[in-house]
Structure 1
């Protein structure tokens, strides 16, 4: 049985045009070391923090596709999950495809246009560490089609949702896997100041100091898209690496009562 419940985020990877540059950037920013899986697997490169797998880097296959982070949700049966996706109004971009000695993967697109991966674990369960500096901390779906998207994930994964914002000026929900003690994902409704923001999943990595991490991103040639901001969940900044892939960093220990957007 998977260590992750059905629909829970279990893995994240980034598609980059230059893997060597990616290793240099993330190695310094997040303290990662790397294991190249070899030519057989397209030089898919595992990122490790303190010897534990926390994410991966992969070579971008299509030059027209911008560098991007993606998240995978755990499923017990990838074939059955893709059928649920179709029935709920989503699209299957690829798969299910077996990955030798690792598991089965598929890529799907929800009704709001956000791409997300599905992962049926085999030899590779997913994250070996979460919520600690240098490891995955959170992800959220940024969408303009909030109603259809909420319904889609409720139907496919049985997510339970709770409104955090006021639903108008700040439309943010947390989604929980049934039976989980804590929320599993966020959903941000784009509008107002965020109207021009891209649709898709945003991945967060934990850091020991958000302000220092933002400064390091700049020093390494990346960009700080949203300056460090306090929230009830931690101090966060939205950034892009030196190749343009967007993600966020969060110091979960530094919390405030402020809710962004309110």
Structure 2
């Protein structure tokens, strides 16, 4: 079984106060079905989420009310011990030391110099997504930070990412390939891994607790006070900020080591939290899911008890919106542009 390329996003999960409510929300929103996760050592509970019978994510019941209700991202590594060492050397923090999860693989949790939390996964029997960059599955991730220089250097050292700054050659609409239809991430994780296997069942944990038996832990995504229009706030600086159409934006796309940096190979990005937001707002990752109809998805999310924090709007990569589910977890949705 082929594993994900080193540094590719390979899994997402969400920690929720009410697992059953989460299943109802995401089942209707994305058409996901669910299956019970593996037994968790400390009695936790979680489920795998499937789209068209293929693994796409996991939902976990929070074991501690102090844990954030948030979506977390995990990066693949072929040597988790070496990656953990690089994290420390590059100024990051290791929250959870590498822990074996049965035969599934090995997990760890870390934070970058700006405080954004992410997971590591070294595959055993399970690799990660079985489906991505298609409606109902993960398609992109980006970190929001106030310490862009330290964070850029960190990810480049730890994962070997190669950066392309917004406004550089090939970053505008004309840089999305001849058809101009490519969505974020389709040249990254979609082309650098086989899309087989699964890293777990959604059981995440806090830095204060021991790691779970199944899914890697999730990142701490805050729920900032969100602007009323997509022209303000962190989204302005990221892929949600319409790329080269916003000359003042400060955004960097990351491509894996060994690839030509640019949108065709990008697997994620870095944006900047501006002074317009409270100083106590922490760094965090925002994860995107591909959808067939952005407006309909946003409307459905509200109908299901969620809320839209950034209404649907067009960007060079399609049409996107930022939502919170019915329990507060934040995520984005992206509808790719129609092929020409």
* TM-score (normalised: structure 1): 0.92
The 1:121–1:141 alpha-carbon spacing in structure 2 relative to 1, beyond 3 Å, is same
Q: Which string of whole-angstrom CA distances, capped at 9 and with x for unpartnered residues, describes residues 170-216 of structure 1?
A: 11110000234510111111115556765200010011000000001
Deviation at 1:37, TM superposition (A): 1.5
The residue number in structure 2 matching 1:232 is 316
The residue number in structure 1 matching 2:89 is 87
Alpha-carbon distance in structure 1 between the residues aligned to 2:267 and 2:278: 25
The residue number in structure 1 matching 2:27 is 27
Deviation at 1:64, TM superposition (A): 1.4
* Structure with bigger RCO (C-alpha 8 Å, 6+ apart): 2
Aligned residues: 256
The residue number in structure 1 matching 2:201 is none
The residue number in structure 2 matching 1:260 is none
The residue number in structure 1 matching 2:204 is none
The counterpart of 1:182, out of the listed 265, 276, 283, is 265
The residue number in structure 1 matching 2:101 is 99
The residue number in structure 1 matching 2:301 is 217
Note the residue ranges of structure 2 that are not aligned, 5 or more in a row: 168-243
The residue number in structure 1 matching 2:251 is 172
Tell me the secondary structure at the aligned position of residue 253 of structure 1.
coil
The 1:2–1:215 alpha-carbon spacing in structure 2 relative to 1, beyond 3 Å, is same
Tell me the secondary structure at the aligned position of residue 27 of structure 2.
helix
Deviation at 1:232, TM superposition (A): 1.1
Alpha-carbon distance in structure 1 between the residues aligned to 2:325 and 2:161: 31
The 1:178–1:148 alpha-carbon spacing in structure 2 relative to 1, beyond 3 Å, is same
The residue number in structure 2 matching 1:258 is none
Which structure has more strand as a fraction of its residues?
1
Alpha-carbon distance in structure 2 between the residues aligned to 1:234 and 1:187: 19
Note the residue ranges of structure 1 that are not aligned, 5 or more in a row: 256-262
Alpha-carbon distance in structure 1 between the residues aligned to 2:2 and 2:256: 14
- Structure 1 runs (4+) greater than 6 angstroms displaced: none
